[in-house]
Structure 1
């Protein structure tokens, strides 16, 4: 459709990240994480690449110092899904 931007990537969570998500209790933490996930879903390349093994998907890190959030994630080959591996709020 004309006038519409790129589609946002869908967010999925690894088992470890899902468990971390369950432990978030404050509204401020949940809000901060939501904001970070929106940024990542709109532009999956926003995070900095983490050096390491090149055989799998490139692990990236997105950190927002203002919201005090750090998310480690990778993007699937078709760039339609962002898999969150680790959350720090």
Structure 2
């Protein structure tokens, strides 16, 4: 009998502005904190709170980890297989 599979993770992608913010992270603590937050949203993309907006574009969500002091703005693709990070605050 095959072992049970863990939930499928969504892939993480970065917008151009988030990729630039990522390049500016220099401390190992910031990178570690960001990595933990990315794992959380990849496992459960609905964990963040929805931000108010219109229905014309993707629904932005915000995930904040108060302990690690990380805030991410992101949206999830229609099939929930990709999380696109739009903004990083670490």
- 1:61 and 1:75 map into 2 onto residues whose CA distance is 11
Q: Provide runs of 4+ in structure 1 moved above 4 Å.
A: none
- 2:52 and 2:6 map into 1 onto residues whose CA distance is 30
How far apart are 1:46 and its partner, in Å?
Answer: 0.3
Q: 1:2 to 1:77 in 2, by over 3 A?
A: farther
**Structure having the higher Rg:** 2
Gaps of 5+ in 2: none
Gaps of 5+ in 1: none
Aligned residues: 89
SS of residue in 2 equivalent to 1:58: coil
SS of residue in 1 equivalent to 2:63: strand
How far apart are 1:15 and its partner, in Å?
Answer: 0.1
